[in-house]
Structure 1
Protein backbone atom coordinates (compact mmCIF):
# COMPACT_ATOMS: atom_id res chain seq x y z
CA UNK A 1 0.00 0.00 0.00
CA UNK A 2 1.04 3.61 -0.47
CA UNK A 3 3.11 5.31 2.20
CA UNK A 4 4.01 8.98 2.65
CA UNK A 5 7.52 9.74 1.41
CA UNK A 6 7.99 12.49 4.03
CA UNK A 7 6.26 11.36 7.23
CA UNK A 8 6.09 7.59 6.69
CA UNK A 9 2.34 7.49 7.32
CA UNK A 10 0.49 4.51 5.91
CA UNK A 11 -2.39 2.16 6.58
CA UNK A 12 -2.79 0.83 10.11
CA UNK A 13 -5.22 -1.77 11.40
CA UNK A 14 -7.69 -1.44 14.21
CA UNK A 15 -11.17 -2.45 15.30
CA UNK A 16 -14.72 -1.15 14.99
CA UNK A 17 -16.27 -1.69 18.43
CA UNK A 18 -20.05 -2.08 18.77
CA UNK A 19 -21.52 -1.35 22.20
CA UNK A 20 -24.95 -2.20 23.58
CA UNK A 21 -26.79 -0.94 26.64
CA UNK A 22 -27.45 2.29 28.51
CA UNK A 23 -24.58 4.25 30.06
CA UNK A 24 -24.35 4.40 33.84
CA UNK A 25 -24.48 8.20 33.69
CA UNK A 26 -27.87 7.88 31.97
CA UNK A 27 -29.19 5.53 34.65
CA UNK A 28 -28.37 2.19 33.05
CA UNK A 29 -26.17 -0.71 34.09
CA UNK A 30 -23.35 0.23 31.70
CA UNK A 31 -22.26 -0.44 28.15
CA UNK A 32 -21.27 -3.91 26.97
CA UNK A 33 -19.11 -4.68 23.93
CA UNK A 34 -21.02 -7.00 21.58
CA UNK A 35 -18.56 -7.24 18.69
CA UNK A 36 -15.20 -5.94 17.54
CA UNK A 37 -14.75 -6.11 13.76
CA UNK A 38 -11.34 -5.60 12.17
CA UNK A 39 -10.95 -2.52 9.96
CA UNK A 40 -8.24 -0.35 8.43
CA UNK A 41 -7.42 3.30 9.12
CA UNK A 42 -6.03 4.85 5.94
CA UNK A 43 -3.86 7.97 5.90
CA UNK A 44 -4.97 10.92 3.75
CA UNK A 45 -2.38 10.56 0.98
CA UNK A 46 -2.22 12.52 -2.27
CA UNK A 47 -0.27 11.63 -5.42
CA UNK A 48 1.64 14.88 -6.03
CA UNK A 49 4.15 16.11 -8.60
CA UNK A 50 7.14 17.31 -6.57
CA UNK A 51 10.48 18.92 -7.39
CA UNK A 52 13.38 17.24 -5.61
CA UNK A 53 16.82 18.66 -4.72
CA UNK A 54 18.19 18.18 -8.26
CA UNK A 55 15.23 20.01 -9.81
CA UNK A 56 13.73 16.92 -11.43
CA UNK A 57 9.97 16.43 -11.24
CA UNK A 58 8.66 13.19 -9.73
CA UNK A 59 5.27 11.91 -8.62
CA UNK A 60 5.24 10.67 -5.03
CA UNK A 61 2.68 9.86 -2.36
CA UNK A 62 2.56 12.63 0.25
CA UNK A 63 0.31 13.06 3.29
CA UNK A 64 -1.80 16.20 3.53
CA UNK A 65 0.06 17.09 6.74
CA UNK A 66 3.32 17.27 4.77
CA UNK A 67 1.67 19.42 2.09
CA UNK A 68 0.15 21.86 4.60
CA UNK A 69 3.41 22.08 6.59
CA UNK A 70 5.35 23.06 3.47
CA UNK A 71 7.68 20.06 3.57
CA UNK A 72 7.26 19.56 -0.19
CA UNK A 73 7.35 22.01 -3.09
CA UNK A 74 4.81 21.23 -5.78
CA UNK A 75 6.03 21.29 -9.38
Structure 2
Protein backbone atom coordinates (compact mmCIF):
# COMPACT_ATOMS: atom_id res chain seq x y z
CA UNK A 1 0.00 0.00 0.00
CA UNK A 2 1.49 3.33 -1.02
CA UNK A 3 1.32 6.18 1.46
CA UNK A 4 -0.74 8.43 -0.78
CA UNK A 5 -4.27 9.74 -0.36
CA UNK A 6 -6.47 8.77 -3.32
CA UNK A 7 -8.56 11.96 -3.14
CA UNK A 8 -6.16 14.78 -2.20
CA UNK A 9 -2.89 13.20 -3.37
CA UNK A 10 -1.12 13.87 -0.06
CA UNK A 11 2.10 11.87 0.35
CA UNK A 12 5.15 11.87 2.65
CA UNK A 13 7.37 14.94 2.40
CA UNK A 14 11.00 15.42 3.45
CA UNK A 15 12.20 17.78 6.12
CA UNK A 16 14.78 18.23 8.86
CA UNK A 17 14.89 17.82 12.62
CA UNK A 18 17.15 20.23 14.50
CA UNK A 19 19.02 19.63 17.76
CA UNK A 20 19.31 22.95 19.59
CA UNK A 21 21.23 23.95 22.72
CA UNK A 22 21.99 27.15 24.58
CA UNK A 23 20.08 29.76 26.52
CA UNK A 24 17.74 32.05 24.51
CA UNK A 25 18.49 35.76 24.34
CA UNK A 26 15.11 36.46 25.97
CA UNK A 27 16.43 34.76 29.10
CA UNK A 28 19.68 36.81 29.00
CA UNK A 29 21.66 34.06 27.31
CA UNK A 30 24.01 34.17 24.35
CA UNK A 31 21.41 32.63 22.00
CA UNK A 32 20.36 29.26 20.67
CA UNK A 33 22.75 27.29 18.50
CA UNK A 34 21.93 24.41 16.15
CA UNK A 35 24.22 21.51 17.02
CA UNK A 36 22.82 18.82 14.73
CA UNK A 37 20.55 18.36 11.75
CA UNK A 38 18.85 15.06 10.89
CA UNK A 39 16.75 14.25 7.85
CA UNK A 40 13.21 13.04 8.54
CA UNK A 41 9.90 12.36 6.78
CA UNK A 42 6.56 13.95 7.57
CA UNK A 43 3.91 11.24 7.12
CA UNK A 44 0.35 12.08 6.03
CA UNK A 45 -2.51 11.16 8.37
CA UNK A 46 -3.90 8.23 6.31
CA UNK A 47 -6.63 5.72 7.07
CA UNK A 48 -8.13 2.87 5.07
CA UNK A 49 -11.87 3.54 4.94
CA UNK A 50 -14.78 1.47 3.66
CA UNK A 51 -17.58 3.72 2.39
CA UNK A 52 -21.10 2.86 1.19
CA UNK A 53 -21.75 3.99 -2.39
CA UNK A 54 -25.55 4.12 -2.52
CA UNK A 55 -25.83 4.67 -6.31
CA UNK A 56 -24.06 1.36 -7.06
CA UNK A 57 -25.41 -0.39 -3.95
CA UNK A 58 -21.97 -1.54 -2.73
CA UNK A 59 -19.05 -0.69 -0.45
CA UNK A 60 -15.83 0.82 -1.78
CA UNK A 61 -12.47 0.89 0.04
CA UNK A 62 -10.33 4.00 -0.22
CA UNK A 63 -7.04 5.11 1.33
CA UNK A 64 -7.83 8.60 2.57
CA UNK A 65 -6.29 11.40 4.55
CA UNK A 66 -8.50 12.73 7.31
CA UNK A 67 -8.84 16.04 5.45
CA UNK A 68 -10.19 14.06 2.45
CA UNK A 69 -12.92 12.64 4.70
CA UNK A 70 -14.01 16.20 5.41
CA UNK A 71 -14.02 16.89 1.66
CA UNK A 72 -16.23 13.83 1.08
CA UNK A 73 -18.64 15.02 3.79
CA UNK A 74 -18.84 18.43 2.12
CA UNK A 75 -19.06 17.47 -1.59
CA UNK A 76 -20.57 13.98 -1.39
CA UNK A 77 -19.08 10.59 -2.18
CA UNK A 78 -20.59 10.29 -5.66
CA UNK A 79 -18.86 13.45 -6.97
CA UNK A 80 -15.50 12.33 -5.51
CA UNK A 81 -15.83 8.86 -7.13
CA UNK A 82 -16.70 10.52 -10.46
CA UNK A 83 -13.49 12.62 -10.27
CA UNK A 84 -11.39 9.56 -9.37
CA UNK A 85 -12.74 7.66 -12.38
CA UNK A 86 -11.97 10.64 -14.64
CA UNK A 87 -8.35 10.46 -13.46
CA UNK A 88 -8.33 6.78 -14.39
CA UNK A 89 -8.14 5.33 -10.88
CA UNK A 90 -9.90 2.05 -10.18
CA UNK A 91 -12.57 2.40 -7.48
Task: Indicate whether the TM-score tops 0.5.
Answer: yes
Higher helix share: 2
Tell whether the 8 Å contact from 1:50 to 1:72 is kept in structure 2 after alignment: no
Tell whether the 8 Å contact from 2:3 to 2:44 is kept in structure 1 after alignment: no
Tell me the residue number matched to 1:13: 14
TM-score by length of 2: 0.68
Structural mapping, 1:1-75, within 5 Å: 1-51=2-52, 55=56, 56-69=58-71, 70=73, 73=77
The structure-2 alpha-carbon separation of the partners of 1:10 and 1:72, relative to structure 1 and needing over 3 Å to count, comes to farther
SS in 2 for 1:9: coil
The structure-2 alpha-carbon separation of the partners of 1:6 and 1:26, relative to structure 1 and needing over 3 Å to count, comes to same
Q: Which has the higher contact order (CA 8 A, sep 6+)?
A: 1
1:19-71 CA distances to partner (integer Å, 9 max, x unpaired)? 11000000001000000111111010001123569625332210001113315
Q: Which runs of 4+ in 1 moved over 4 A?
A: 51-54
Higher strand share: 1
